[in-house]
Amino acid sequence: MFIYDSHQKTKRKFKPLIEGKVSLYVCGPTVYDDAHLGHAKSALVFDLLTRVLEAQGYDVTFARNITDIDDKIINKALSSGQSVEEIAQTYTDSYHRDMDALGIRRPTLEPKATQSIEAMTEMIQKLLDKKHAYTIRNGDIYFDTVSDKGYLSLSHRHSLENISRVEKVSEKHNDADFALWKAVHDEGIAFDSPFGRGRPGWHLECSAMIEKHLATQGAPYAIDIHGGGADLLFPHHENEAAQTRCSMNHELAAYWMHNGFVTVGGEKMSKSLGNSFFLKDALKAYDGEVLRFYLLSTHYRGDFNFNEEDLIASKKRLDRLYRLKKRLFDLSAPIIETEFTKNLLDVLEDDLNVSKAYALMDELIASANEALDANPKDKVYRQALLSSLSTIETVLGFGAKNPYHYFQFGVNEATKIKIDNLITQRSEAKKAKDFASSDALRDELTTIGVAIMDTATGTFWEMKN
């Protein structure tokens, strides 16, 4: 496996800290609103990475945190009249629902910030002891960036000019210093700590959780791979790296992976620009797997320009896979390694080269249709093809649905019930050898645009295009 490491700015051969195992950490959502396509892109990239590593035989421990305490959550709670816990739970649930719809597997661990306060205060204490942190008069604690010789080495920045995300506080020793702990003096939401009541800084959460849940002690790095969106490289990941380096006896991650932005018309998708697409809205119009296919279709490091025409083209490409799956429906066979399986993993091992993976998939579908047309009963070929399709399902996450159900997307419940009733009546008529009725029922289904297929496991239907 070769991974582009954004720290060393080069593609490097992957070598895990412990043979056969991979520890992966990805920054997760702050749960105060529904997920948009940008969240989906990041989750998809690391879902793909996990699947590829597992296909290579690695035992992957993947942690993605949930930031369930944050000013944005508190503000939403205040404006909606709900509690912080209710807001966090609502949007954690909606995040799960939307990501599940895209076939994104849940991480091995999903630690919540509110459950890791002790790990955070322990890290702050270490930073204070080692003089990498200081307390200002109001009780806030800051990380001293000048005390860290490695600061800015991850993001390769040379200065802090034009950085809007750096907080301006007059008592800070250096402009780049960032809060580890914010003291709370009123009745606001706060946690008890050796430094008094307060709330942890956002950057601290990830470093502390990595130590608590994933870190390999005694190794030069806490974990193998740290991932996230490119917008997190600075200051968030730079600060995470600094906290870990200065409090523990290791660097944070051996490899850093960053995925590009989702843009619309060349601009980064963001709520403030009003060009963000909530995943839940996209899921009303498109099957989750179509969105998965589309969002994964370009290399993860490049920016992804969202465009509905491309989305429709992606759907047509995925439809071809499902049409082929219909030709193999009912077939079951042991999974074997095929040349396609090997080739697919070879291209994905090169820093997740999805363009080549998609091209291989297109070639497979075209050649399979030709072969099945020429020789529909070739059992050996059909069984091998089934194994190749199963690899696509496991590694890329495409084609996991019943192909007949896939083509029913968007048909409303009332219509589905009506169609199912007509199909049941037709089956009963056939069983009673009442062929006049069964033909009339088939005609009725055809009139409303439904095509039916009788198979050994039942009758399936889809809407004709």
Contact set with Zn ion (CB under 5 A): 27, 206
Q: Strand, helix or coil at 179?
A: strand
Nearer to Zn ion, 238 or 289 (CB): 238
Nearest to 93 by CA among 139, 455, 101, 54: 101
Cβ 99 to Zn ion, closest distance in Å? Answer: 18
Nearer to Zn ion, 206 or 360 (CB): 206
Nearer to Zn ion, 27 or 242 (CB): 27
How far, in Å, CA of 166 to CA of 175, rounded? 7
Cα 327 from chain centroid? 31
Nearer to Zn ion, 150 or 265 (CB): 150
Cβ 27 to Zn ion, closest distance in Å? Answer: 3
- b/e per residue 402-441 (b: at least 16 CB within 10 A): ebbebbbbebeeeeeebbeebbeebeebbeeeeeeebeeb
Cβ 260 to Zn ion, closest distance in Å? Answer: 18
For residue 448, the 8-state DSSP code is T
End-to-end alpha carbon distance in the chain: 42
Matching residue, tokens 């490695």: 150
How far, in Å, CA of 341 to CA of 299, rounded? 20
How far, in Å, CA of 465 to CA of 452, rounded? 13
Nearer to Zn ion, 25 or 294 (CB): 25
Nearer to Zn ion, 231 or 393 (CB): 231
Nearer to Zn ion, 226 or 401 (CB): 226
Cβ 19 to Zn ion, closest distance in Å? Answer: 27
Cβ 116 to Zn ion, closest distance in Å? Answer: 12
Question: Alpha helices, DSSP H only, in 31-83?
Answer: 37-55, 71-80
How far, in Å, CA of 432 to CA of 348, rounded? 54
How far, in Å, CA of 444 to CA of 441, rounded? 5
How many residues in total does the chain contain?
A: 465
Cβ 7 to Zn ion, closest distance in Å? Answer: 15
Nearer to Zn ion, 24 or 27 (CB): 27
Cβ 148 to Zn ion, closest distance in Å? Answer: 17
Cβ 43 to Zn ion, closest distance in Å? Answer: 14
**Alpha-carbon torsion (395, 387, 403, 427), positive or negative:** negative
